[in-house]
Amino acid sequence: MAGGRAGLADLRGPRFLNSDPGELKARLSREAHALGFDCIGITASGTIEKAAAHFLEFIASGGHGDMDWLAAQPERRLDPRGLWAEVRSVIMLGVNYGPDSDPLTILQQRTRAAISVYAQGDDYHDLIKKRLKALARWLVATAPSEVKVFVDTAAVMEKPLAQAAHLGWQGKHTNLVSREFGSWLFLGAIYTTLELPRDAAETDHCGSCRACLDICPTSAFPAPYKLDARRCISYLTIENKGPIPQEFRKALGNRIYGCDDCLAACPWNKFAQEGREAKLAARDELRAPGLAELARLDDAAFRALFAKSPVKRIGRDRFLRNVLIAIGNSGEAALAEEARRLLDDASPLVRGAAVWALGQLVSRDEFAAMRSVALSNESDERVREEWRA
């Protein structure tokens, strides 16, 4: 659920054509795998009408929350031609980032932080964009065409297009599921003016299973195949710029960046494979970092720890907001000191979360004593509301 930076490149190549489209497709597939992609499929414009209608319903319901970039110019998302009128084929590619262990075990370690699997290594946007550009250059050098490349952040409906290209299907949790890689695929797209042989769309294999829906800590799925992002922990910890709403704070547990619950619960993960890309593998320091150490990060230390990581984009203040909610949920009285120290932080967002964390960890009498002093010095109304709450 990310937005903002459009991964877009225009490339042109020499005007000569392999006369056999099937052979060109086979060579394209071999080149994609040589570059490190784990799967490839091809579809065209006009193949995601049902998903487009579903997307419009999602926007109309307000389920996108504050992600205004999703609602802006929706016609650009509903069909590839809305973004680029000349596109004839859409090449969808996937990179497996399967974890080497169960991502849900960290949820039992309440004094340590749970970071979503995809964010424990380098930022996939940079890695995949480079590979997409390399493959696009090969394509335009092999056949006369124009191409554009996208990775996650442009107005492209990657998951429906991936299903149309036979990479997987959108499960009841709205994420892509692959019979070969389970829940763990990063997606990229190449739009081209070439007419390439299409793959048959993948069919839905969820059956009667509800595992992804039932495990959600915040009941973010009002119905199968429908997500209310405003209740989703990934949205709340990443896209949400304000305080975490009171009703969801307990449910966050120790999740400080994203949530893997619905992905990890999918039974199709029994066929998943560990990712083979070293740059996407979890860094040791991000597998289960201590909440106390994270709470002590200033801006420079935050940027250093999360260099090349997608975590860096939310900034130190939002990150500490999440860490403090996790501290409040830890049940560990010793962590109250970390929250107490951040009561004087320059950011009202951090101070407000620190107030809530202390309220969970210290006695009522101690909290009341701190409140009487704090209210006389606190100028931010939202922080004052946290003290009064």
- At 212, list the tokens: 């992804």
Is there a binding annotation on residue 39?
Answer: no
Q: Is 266 annotated as a binding residue?
A: yes
Structure tokens at 329: 């949920």
- Tell me if 232 is assigned to a ligand binding site: yes
37 vs 25: CA distance, rounded Å = 15
The continuous run of DSSP H or E covering 43 comes out as strand 39-43
Nearest to 37 by CA among 115, 116, 93: 93
Contact status, residue 92 vs residue 187, Cβ threshold 8 Å: yes
Measured between alpha carbons, how far apart are the two ends of the chain, in Å? 31
Beta carbons of 205 and 259 less than 8 angstroms apart? no
Phi, psi of 112 (to 5 degrees): -120, 160
Q: Cα(50)–Cα(48) distance, rounded to whole angstroms?
A: 6
User: Strand pairing of 185-192 and 89-96?
Assistant: antiparallel
Q: Which of 152, 228, 261, 345 is catalytic?
A: 152
Any binding-site annotation on 260?
yes
Q: Give the Å distances, CA to CA, from 267 to 63, 108, 162, 317.
A: 26, 21, 20, 36
> By C-alpha distance, which of 151, 155, 131, 160 is closest to 279?
131
Give residue 333's region: left, alpha or beta (phi > 0; psi -120 to 50): alpha
Lookup: tokens for 126: 């940079």
Label residue 331 exposed, middle or buried (CB < 10 Å: 0-12, 13-18, 19+).
exposed
Is 375 annotated as contributing to ligand binding? no
Residue 150: strand pairing partners: 189
Active site annotation includes 214: no
Q: Please report, in range form, the residues annotated as the binding site.
A: 77, 152, 176, 187, 206, 209, 212, 216, 232, 234, 241, 259-260, 262, 266
Q: Please report, in range form, the residues annotated as the binding site for [4Fe-4S] cluster.
A: 206, 209, 212, 216, 232, 259, 262, 266
Q: Please report, in range form, the residues annotated as the binding site for tRNA.
A: 241
Q: Please report, in range form, the residues annotated as the binding site for cob(II)alamin.
A: 77, 152, 176, 187, 234, 259-260
**Active site members:** 152
